[in-house]
């Protein structure tokens, strides 16, 4: 019989320590080591059984050969299918994370009902809510009539025995992975050992039977999925459900996908009837715009294969402090510091005595560097008090030398802007071939100073009657 021993496992990164310490040596987090007992060490059970037999040779093949598309189950919810790459792949495991109350269970309930109405067998297992609570949500969403099979259970062995009875399910939803526990581990539910063992058991079932598994994961205060990051490496796809409490829209963002693109998003709007798809997110993010307000520039961005237009708002105000404030919402604060430095060093625009506030309208978050040009235009517009043209979009990357560098997908950005009624654009010189439309007469600066001179030149071009 294997000898039981005690180890200390970091609940943040999963590193195993032989003795307790206040700080984890691997990730540097404090007070994350939890004592967990193991029978002969982590993973000794399965390992000892496998080492008892001799390995068998497997067939080797070449890179060339017939390729088959992964069989998918389309839910019919267009934004969800876009984020997953076309639907749920049979035999795959998908991890969905998000803040509490953001709408993860609502989205999965709607997806389960849509698939069940198509004739698929859908099993929804909840470890956090009773069956009555799930039924109440289904009634509110208008999905109570869908033939979805429900269960409230947390033991992995009982769940596997339940779903193995009868026809193989097409999709199994586990809400959430942190509540599951298995008899193979002695630690409490939610610990690294239990989360890893439970996820491994569910993924093994998915690979062996061809059923798709969706695991719901809690997130930490930093916004990362709680538990060891090894769970994200075990699954085939990771989706984050994002949104701000003061805004009614939600974004389903693909972080990892072995069967599709990793930079797609799905946009939903939360209502009292559940989540509604947003077919044109640009109109949602632009919202109500004041055409004559300085400090506002429209950025034409890309999320995967989808162009998205969003308004960037800047406020530059005189500061009475020795160190002016720099506040950013929806963009990288380090990137803002770089843009301010380039404007001062190469364009002669001084922000040393001013507070700078930058906001991306609608609660949207921008991650691509193509927003540099739009941010610069908004900052200069706010500092000079001159409103930018209301029908103009901006995109382009700025280097430390002040040069404006081209970005990808310029044609798609311009088509989206033209569809929404924009008539002009500012984009880098040397972008990909622009055929007609608003790109034909676009202003293409090679240096950031050219754009600053163009914005500041509107003051000199004004007549006294315009003031």
Binding-site positions for ATP read 98-105
- Distance between CA 353 and CA 291 in Å, rounded? 28
Q: Please, which residues have CB within 8 angstroms of residue 113's CB and are 6 or more apart in sequence? A: 138, 141, 143, 146, 148
- Distance between CA 203 and CA 50 in Å, rounded? 19
Residue 393 · residue 370 · CB < 8 Å:
no
Nearest to 376 by CA among 352, 394, 364, 359: 394
Nearest to 381 by CA among 308, 325, 298, 301: 298
- Distance between CA 311 and CA 74 in Å, rounded? 33
Residue 239 · residue 83 · CB < 8 Å:
yes
Residue 232 · residue 189 · CB < 8 Å:
no
- Distance between CA 73 and CA 89 in Å, rounded? 6
Nearest to 74 by CA among 63, 83, 61: 83
Query: Interhelix angle for 192-209 vs 156-163, to 10°?
Result: 10
Q: How many residues does the chain have?
A: 467
Residues that constitute the known binding site: 98-105
Angle at CA of residue 262, ends 27 and 286, nearest 5°: 105
């Amino acid at each position: 019989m294997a000898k039981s021993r005690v180890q200390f496992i970091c609940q943040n990164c999963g590193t195993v320590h032989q003795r307790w310490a206040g700080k984890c040596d691997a990730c540097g987090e404090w007070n994350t080591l939890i004592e967990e007992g193991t029978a002969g060490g982590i993973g000794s059970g399965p390992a000892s059984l496998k080492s008892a037999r001799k390995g068998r040779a497997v067939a080797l093949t070449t890179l060339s050969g017939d390729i088959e598309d992964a069989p998918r189950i389309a839910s019919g919810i267009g934004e969800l299918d876009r984020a997953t790459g076309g639907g749920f792949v049979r035999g795959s495991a998908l991890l969905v994370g998000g803040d509490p109350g953001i709408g993860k269970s609502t989205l999965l309930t709607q997806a389960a009902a849509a698939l069940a109405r198509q004739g698929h067998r859908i099993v929804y297992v909840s470890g956090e809510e009773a069956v009555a609570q799930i039924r109440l949500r289904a009634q509110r969403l208008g999905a109570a009539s869908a033939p979805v099979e429900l269960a409230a259970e947390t033991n992995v062995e009982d769940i596997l025995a339940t779903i193995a009875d009868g026809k193989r399910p097409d999709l199994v939803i586990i809400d959430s992975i942190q509540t599951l526990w298995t008899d193979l581990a002695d630690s409490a539910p939610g610990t690294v050992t239990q989360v890893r063992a439970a996820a491994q058991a569910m993924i093994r079932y998915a690979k062996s039977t061809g059923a798709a598994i969706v695991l719901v994961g809690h997130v930490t205060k930093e916004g990362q999925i709680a538990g060891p990051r090894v769970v994200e490496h075990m699954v085939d796809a990771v989706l984050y459900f994002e949104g701000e409490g003061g805004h009614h829209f939600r974004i389903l963002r693909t972080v990892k996908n072995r069967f599709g693109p990793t930079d797609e998003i799905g946009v939903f709007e939360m209502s009292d009837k559940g989540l509604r798809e947003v077919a044109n997110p640009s109109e949602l993010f632009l919202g109500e715009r004041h055409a004559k307000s300085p400090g506002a520039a429209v950025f034409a961005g890309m999320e995967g294969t989808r162009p998205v237009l969003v308004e960037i708002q800047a406020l530059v105000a005189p500061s009475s402090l020795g160190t002016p404030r720099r506040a950013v919402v929806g963009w990288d604060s380090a990137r803002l510091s770089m843009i301010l430095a380039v404007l001062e060093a190469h364009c002669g625009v001084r922000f040393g005595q001013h507070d700078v506030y930058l906001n991306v309208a609608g609660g949207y978050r921008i991650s691509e560097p193509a927003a540099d040009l739009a941010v610069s235009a908004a900052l200069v517009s706010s500092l000079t008090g001159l409103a930018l043209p209301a029908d103009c979009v901006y995109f382009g990357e700025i280097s430390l030398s002040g040069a404006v560098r081209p970005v990808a997908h310029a044609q798609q950005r311009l088509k989206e802007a033209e569809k929404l009624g924009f008539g002009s654009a500012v984009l880098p010189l040397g972008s990909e071939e622009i055929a007609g439309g608003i790109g034909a007469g676009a202003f293409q600066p090679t240096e950031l100073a050219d754009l600053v001179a163009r914005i500041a030149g509107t003051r000199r071009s004004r007549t006294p009657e315009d003031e």
